[in-house]
Structure 1
Amino acid sequence: MPDLRLVIFDVDGTLVDSQAEILAAMTHAFDAEKRAMPSREAVLAIVGLSLDVAFARLCPDADTGTQARLVAGYKDAFSTQRAQNADHGPLYPGARAVLDMLAGQDNTLLAVATGKSRRGLDKLLERHALQGFFHSEQVADHHPSKPNPSMILTAMGELGVDRARAVMVGDTTFDMDMARAAGIANIGVSWGYHAADQLQPDILITEFGALPGAVDRLVGQ
């Protein structure tokens, strides 16, 4: 259908506030390797990247074996935390209402493009009762890390939506750069893990309730 439009969401820092989980899992991974934990700012700066790329940036002096153990330790710690504490990783205020609104529009398709693994995304969707909510789910297991446009291009290809009718919603420069590389519009959110003044999006929103109007402005109704 020519009038279909696609809204692609980043996850951590955009839909879900995973900051506490991310920092705790990072601490566990670095402690296990007896390495100094990077600063909070350094950790949040790499949120959104695939884990292998993220740890390569955080630990450029570490060999590949050490980086692989850090990735594995992080994944295990993150998974354990989610199993033990259902209060971690809440949706941002207003997120669910806006997702329900957009999902109720006949010509609007929803997707996610995330640096999370398939396992991590599945657990998050289950926790927030969002299974089957997104028409395309692109994860780090099957793509190069952001800002490579592979995830966006795959989602558009799967759903048959033109670039002019697709928009990326994210909180990091990686999301904005990925959208630009794919040739689609982008919406930055102010509540995430990169400073809002770094994003340079087509539109910056400061509350979830402003998202539907921003989508309409960029890709039409």
Structure 2
Amino acid sequence: MKAILFDCDGTIADSFGVICDIMRRTFLAHGLDAPEDAATRDIIGLSLDTAIGRLHPGVDSLLLASLVTGYRTQFRAARAEPDFREALFPEMKGLIDRLSARDSLLLGMVTGKSRRGVAAICEAHDMTAAFSVVRTADDCPSKPHPAMVLECCEVLGVDAGETLVVGDSIYDVEMARAAGATAFGVAWGTHRPDMLIAAGAAAVAGTPAELDRLIESWHDGALTALPREARAALS
């Protein structure tokens, strides 16, 4: 039995626009200059307090707590709007469904989202049953700390050496490596493919179809060819 642990935002969910908008609203509501979208995109994947701390270095604990609460309040209000929807990247739902149906694989989610946020997006896209275990910012230290991966492995009864982490940021890759798992990056998210490779990703997929093929290679134990294949895809 092997396990695949997926990041959510930037990997499965195309939520960049929503996150950047909510972050701008939150900072402005506190009388602060709104961060540039590029800066916000760069911290997606981190737990909210860590992310905001990077966007506003030196923030004191009281203001940080207020910003975190404000962000969550703004997000809940946005989610309650009739036209709100966190879109998934094309083909990712189909890939998740195919993988979750395989007897030799267990799927999990490791994300900087809150439990509430994970529940909302999984329910909206009928993905709740696909993930046997979920670890969020409410459960574990922020990525790249390995706790999310290690706790998922313990729950699933799968060794980290038989586990693959799929994510779009260097934080996902560093988390996987710290836990002793393999990491695959995806090129449609937060960080560039060269950054993911430099952080230690065994491969970077340019499309969900390519990710599907790479997962098959990993599942079959063909790891030695993956770094060369990944680098060739970047040239």
Category of TM-score, reference length = shorter chain: over 0.9
Alpha-carbon distance between aligned partners in 2 of 1:19 and 1:150, rounded to the nearest angstrom: 25
Deviations 1:141-164 (A, max 9, x none): 110100000000000110111223
Q: Give matches, 1:70-81, under 5 Å.
A: 70-81=67-78
**Greater RCO (CA < 8 Å, at least 6 residues apart):** 1
Query: Which ranges of 4 or more aligned residues in structure 1 deviate by more than 6 Å?
Result: none
TM-score, normalising length: structure 1? 0.95
Describe the SS at the equivalent of 1:84.
coil
| Percent identity over paired residues | 37
Show the counterpart of 1:179: 176
Pairing partner for 1:148 from 145, 148, 161: 145
Provide the rounded CA distance (Å) in 2 between the counterparts of 1:205 and 1:85.
34
For 1:9-88, what aligned pairs fall within 5 Å after superposition? 9-86=6-83, 88=85
State the TM-score, normalized to the length of structure 2. 0.89
What amino acid does structure 1 have at the position aligned with 2:25?
A: H
Residue aligning to 1:122: 119
| Aligned alpha-carbon RMSD (Å) | 1.3
For residues 163 and 31 of structure 1, the distance between their equivalents in structure 2, rounded to whole angstroms, comes to 42
The worse-fitting range, judged by mean Cα deviation, of 76-85 and 14-23 is: 76-85
Shift of 1:172: 0.1
- 1:173-209 per-residue CA deviation (whole Å, 9 max, x = no partner) reads 0000000001111110000011222111101101111
Query: Counterpart of 1:93?
Result: 90
CA contact (8 A) 1:55 1:71 kept: yes
| Alpha-carbon distance in 2 for matches of 1:108, 1:196 | 26
AA matched with 1:205: A
- In the alignment, the residues of structure 2 paired with residue 171 and residue 190 of structure 1 have an alpha-carbon distance, to the nearest angstrom, of 7
SS of the residue aligned with 2:165?
strand
Q: Does 1:107 align with 2:104?
A: yes
Identify the residue that residue 218 of structure 1 maps to in structure 2: 218
Would you say 1:192 and 2:189 are equivalent positions? yes
How far does residue 84 in structure 1 lie from its aligned partner after superposition?
1.1
Q: Distance in 2 between matches of 1:141 and 1:163?
A: 22
SS at 2:85 equivalent: coil
Aligned residues: 218
- For 1:36 and 1:196, locate their aligned partners in 2 and report how far apart those are by CA, in whole Å: 30
Corresponding residue of 2:230: none
Tell me if the contact between 2:14 and 2:86 (Cα under 8 Å) persists in the aligned partners: yes
Structure 2 distance, partners of 1:80, 1:172, is 27
Q: Is 2:78–2:84's contact at 8 Å kept on the other side of the alignment?
A: no
What's the offset of the Cα at 1:86?
4.4
Separation of aligned partners in 2, 1:66 and 1:54: 14
